[in-house]
Amino acid sequence: MRKLPILATLALVLMAGAAHADTSGKKIAFSNNYAGNSWRQAMLKSYDIITKKAVADGIVAASDVFTTADQEVPTQAAQIQNLILQGYDAIVINAGSPDALNGAVKQACDAGIVVVSFDGIVTEPCAYRVVVDFKAMGKEQVAQMAKFQPKGGNLLEIRGLAGTSIDEEIHAGILEGIAANPQFKIVNSVTGNWDQTTAQKAVATVLPSLPEIVGIVDQGGDGYGAAQAFAAAGKPRPTIILGNRQDELAWWKEQKAKDGYQTWSSSIAPGVSSLAFWVAQQVLDGRTDIPHDLLVPYLAFTQEDFEAALPNIPEGGVATHEYTQADAIAAIKANIK
């Protein structure tokens, strides 16, 4: 077999998918509204791993991270406005609100800055959005619950960070799931902020007034805390949907070994932050075919496969995947219709 045609074909593929312009002088900023749980810490770590290498390799000049000191939307809006003044070429955003930041985002776009939101997205049309179908994930929680609790019963819902698109979408999906499975009823809802300590306190507060609970639907980072609250109160252990955190999956393994406990776990991979970075780089690189809405799969574990994944998740961490530039190009291609 001759090598020349193969190399020529590979060159054409790379030209079609990657470089159009030089991004080595471009600066990308990351505006993050919250870092107070294990998922956000894993997200920042994934972003740091990928972007430091991109800077070292000369793909971009800088990729700086800015996390707000509070969870207030006005603070993040002011931060974005400061990044505009500092001359960044692109801003990656994990937003505290889907719409309250739109004014600042529009200012960035009008200044010629590429804006890519992910996880907590923004609805401003000029921005790009890298998301999983959180509504589908929420609905699937109830479908999975129906497998473990076919007779139905009372559910407790643990919600995430108020005002974010993630919280609203997962909640909407759970409600759709309840509508499709009317044997279940949500009897109370608490806020867990995607954090096991916060969730444990919130669940412990309402437990004395709750009827018998057969299951807990939630948003990730709260399952282990909920389990601890039920154990401390001496209440029967419900079916708790989990969120891919190491402590949750380790607890699941212990419960399974003890009596065959069954559940399901899902979350967006924290490394989606690195995918958002590469999408920004590809836009700066001159690609004009990138959809403004890119859908990527969420990461789920079942009774059959979670134990194999557990050793690969660091203690206190979250199951994740760091995206390469090639992964980003493939994800973009999969979203082009």
Domain boundaries, the chain: 4-132+269-297+320-335, 134-267
Are 335 and 294 a contacting pair, CB within 8 Å?
yes
Within 8 A by CB and 6+ apart from 13, the residues are: none
d(CA 102, CA 122): 7
CA 272-291-119 angle, to 5 degrees, is 25
Q: What is the DSSP letter of 318?
A: B
pLDDT tens digits in sequence order for the chain, 337 residues long: 333 333 333 333 333 444 456 999 999 999 999 998 999 999 999 999 999 999 999 999 999 999 998 889 999 999 999 999 999 999 999 999 999 999 999 999 999 999 999 999 999 999 999 989 999 999 999 999 999 999 999 999 999 999 999 999 999 999 999 999 999 999 999 999 999 999 999 999 999 999 999 999 999 999 999 999 999 999 999 999 999 999 999 999 999 999 999 999 999 999 999 999 999 999 999 999 999 999 999 999 999 999 999 999 999 999 999 999 999 999 999 999 7
CATH architecture observed for domain 134-267? 3-Layer(aba) Sandwich (3.40)
d(CA 233, CA 62): 50
pLDDT attached to residue 20: 53
* Residue the block writes with tokens 């509070």: 70
Token output for 254: 């212990």
CA 137-190-211 angle, to 5 degrees, is 100
Q: What is the DSSP string of 214-261?
A: -EEE--SS-HHHHHHHHHHTTPPPPEE-B-SBHHHHHHHHHHHHHH--
pLDDT attached to residue 191: 97
Are 296 and 272 a contacting pair, CB within 8 Å?
yes
d(CA 313, CA 175): 31
Q: What is the DSSP letter of 50?
A: H
What residues form DSSP beta bridges with 92?
Answer: 30, 116
Q: What is the largest CA-CA distance in the chain?
A: 76
Enumerate the H helices of the chain as residue ranges: 4-17, 38-56, 73-85, 102-110, 134-148, 165-180, 196-206, 223-232, 246-259, 272-284, 306-309, 325-335
Within 8 A by CB and 6+ apart from 131, the residues are: 118, 119, 121, 293, 294, 295, 296
Token output for 184: 């279940």
CATH of domain 4-132+269-297+320-335: 3.40.50.2300
- Of 163, 92, 160, 96, the C-alpha closest to 129 is 92
Within 8 A by CB and 6+ apart from 51, the residues are: 28, 30, 60, 63, 274, 277
Instruction: Look up the pTM and report it.
Output: 0.85
- Judge if 4-132+269-297+320-335 and 134-267 fold alike in CATH terms: yes
SS3 of residue 153 by DSSP: strand
**Strands 153-159 and 215-217: what pairing?**
parallel
Give residue 229's identity as a one-letter amino acid code: A
Are 131 and 297 a contacting pair, CB within 8 Å?
no
d(CA 167, CA 179): 18
